[in-house]
Amino acid sequence: MTVIDLQDQREARRRARFEEFCAAQERALAETRRIVDELTPLIEQWLEYQKKQRAHRRRGPICEAPRCRDTITTLHAIPGATPGDPQALIAVCDGHLSAVLNGLRVTANSDDTLTWRFNPVGAAPVQLTVPRKRGRRVKGAVACQTALMCQRAAVHDDHELPGDVRRLCAPGAPRL
């Protein structure tokens, strides 16, 4: 056997391994395409279902945190900037509610703005004052503030209610 024969055999073995590798890749690609072809109708059906659900889902108030567009929110009471300012209700998503409960401070200002304060350990405090997001929230906020007043009046006997709110809190009053 000559050196050329050994080189030819080595090249033939390399070519055979490469052909085996290419065949394995083609089989894997064919299997992936088969799975994708099976899943495509299911995914399209699910997307149609989600589209229908979004059309029927009632949109809530938008989260009032800066740069957050989440519409799945809950209303929570926050203190005013000064003791004279009334408590306000803000709509926050679950993520921002968790942040507020774990150190992020929010105060409602009398000029219809919210001040968000964050005091990280070992860094300079960050404060951001933003206007309140109102949009669709106005009717619900009025109803929620009225409900909050009614709750306070029920708990604290000395809490005075304005006349129109007293009528709304009376037994048998129409629901908002």
- The reply to whether 70 and 107 lie within a common domain is yes
Mean pLDDT of 36-63: 85
- The reply to whether 4 and 38 lie within a common domain is yes
- The reply to whether 79 and 141 lie within a common domain is no
The Cα–Cα gap between 141 and 132 comes to: 12
- The reply to whether 75 and 117 lie within a common domain is yes
Q: Which of 12, 30, 57 is the last residue of a domain?
A: 57
4 or 168, higher pLDDT: 4
pTM attached to this predicted model = 0.43
- The reply to whether 34 and 73 lie within a common domain is no
Give the pLDDT confidence of 71-100 residue by residue, as tens digits: 778 888 877 666 676 667 888 888 888 888
Residue 130: CB partners within 8 Å, gap ≥ 6? Answer: 66, 113, 114, 116
The domain in which residue 3 lies consists of 1-57
- The reply to whether 19 and 52 lie within a common domain is yes
Give the pLDDT confidence of 123-150 residue by residue, as tens digits: 888 888 888 876 544 444 445 455 555 5
Give yes or no for residue 65 having a pLDDT over 80: yes
175 to each of 20, 98, 140, 159, 168, how far by Cα in Å?
Answer: 74, 31, 12, 22, 8
- The reply to whether 146 and 115 lie within a common domain is no
- The reply to whether 119 and 147 lie within a common domain is no
- The reply to whether 87 and 118 lie within a common domain is yes
- The reply to whether 68 and 116 lie within a common domain is yes
Structurally, how many domains does the chain consist of?
A: 3
- The reply to whether 28 and 64 lie within a common domain is no
- The reply to whether 95 and 111 lie within a common domain is yes
